Copies of this chain bind each other. A is one copy, B any other.
Amino acid sequence: MWNENALRVCLCTDQAVAGGRSLTEAVEQAVSGGVTMVQLREKTACGRDFYNLAIEMRKLTKRLRVPLIINDRTDIALAAGADGVHLGQSDLPVEAARRIMEHGIIGVSAGNAEQAVLAWRGGADYIGAGAVFPTPSKDDAGEAIGLDTLRDICASVKVPVIAIGGVHAGNAADVMRCGASGIAVISAILANADPREAARKIAAAQKTATDIRIPCP
Which of A's residues lie within 8 Å of B, judged by CB? 46-49, 51, 72-76, 78-80, 89-93, 96-97, 99-100
Contacts and interface: CB of A to CB of B under 8 A. Distances in A.
A74 B101 CA distance: 12
Contacts of A97: 75, 79
Nearest to A49: B90
Contacts of A74: 75, 79
A95 to B, nearest CB: 9
A78 B97 CA distance: 9
29 contacts: A46-B91, A47-B72, A47-B90, A47-B91, A47-B92, A48-B89, A48-B90, A48-B91, A48-B92, A49-B90, A51-B92, A51-B96, A73-B75, A74-B75, A74-B79, A75-B75, A75-B78, A75-B92, A75-B97, A75-B100, A76-B92, A78-B99, A78-B100, A79-B92, A79-B97, A79-B99, A79-B100, A80-B96, A100-B100
Nearest to A45: B90
Given A46-B91, A48-B89, A96 B79 contact: yes
Copies of this chain per assembly = 2
Contacts of A48: 89-93
5 tightest A-B CB contacts, nearest first: A75-B75, A74-B75, A79-B96, A46-B90, A47-B91
Given A47-B90, A48-B92, 12 more contacts: A47-B72, A47-B91, A49-B90, A51-B96, A73-B75, A74-B75, A76-B92, A78-B99, A78-B100, A79-B92, A79-B100, A100-B100
Nearest to A74: B75
Contacts of A73: 73, 75
Contacts of A96: 51, 79-80
A76 B91 CA distance: 10
A152 to B, nearest CB: 24
Contacts of A47: 72, 90-92
